[in-house]
């Protein structure tokens, strides 16, 4: 593959990834604006096929799974604070996580 083809493919990937990210951020901003002072949560999973490539994004507890010859392959990893690396990421960004009386991380 020559440099021009790689550059075009990389640019397409960047454009698709940026569009998915922008859509998630726009949705988040709209929800926050419409529901000020309320608490809650949401989850979403998106799959886009473009140019023979599959782009998958998710937030919250949603999962994307692809079936290949009857075998389920996970395309995403849950964003749950029960995972130690996810708790560390949340805390590193200034958030907090606690384990409730029922033993469930929130």
Q: What is the pTM assigned to this prediction?
A: 0.67
pLDDT tens-place string over residues 60-97:
778 899 999 999 999 998 878 888 898 898 899 898 88
pLDDT tens-place string over residues 24-50:
999 988 988 888 887 777 789 999 999
Contacts of 100 by beta carbon, 8 Å cutoff, 6+ apart: 106
Query: How open is the CA angle 45-50-53, to the nearest 5 degrees?
Result: 80
Extents of the domains making up the chain = 1-75, 78-105
Q: Determine the pLDDT at residue 8.
A: 58
């Amino acid at each position: 593959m020559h440099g021009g083809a790689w550059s075009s493919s990389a640019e397409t990937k960047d454009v698709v990834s940026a569009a998915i990210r922008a859509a998630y951020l726009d949705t988040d901003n709209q929800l926050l604006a419409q529901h000020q002072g309320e608490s809650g949560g949401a989850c979403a999973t998106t799959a886009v096929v473009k140019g023979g490539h599959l782009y998958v994004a998710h937030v919250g507890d949603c999962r994307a799974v692809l079936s290949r010859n009857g075998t389920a392959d996970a395309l995403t990893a849950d964003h749950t604070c029960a995972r130690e690396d996810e708790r560390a990421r949340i805390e590193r960004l200034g958030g907090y996580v606690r384990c409730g009386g029922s033993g469930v991380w929130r």
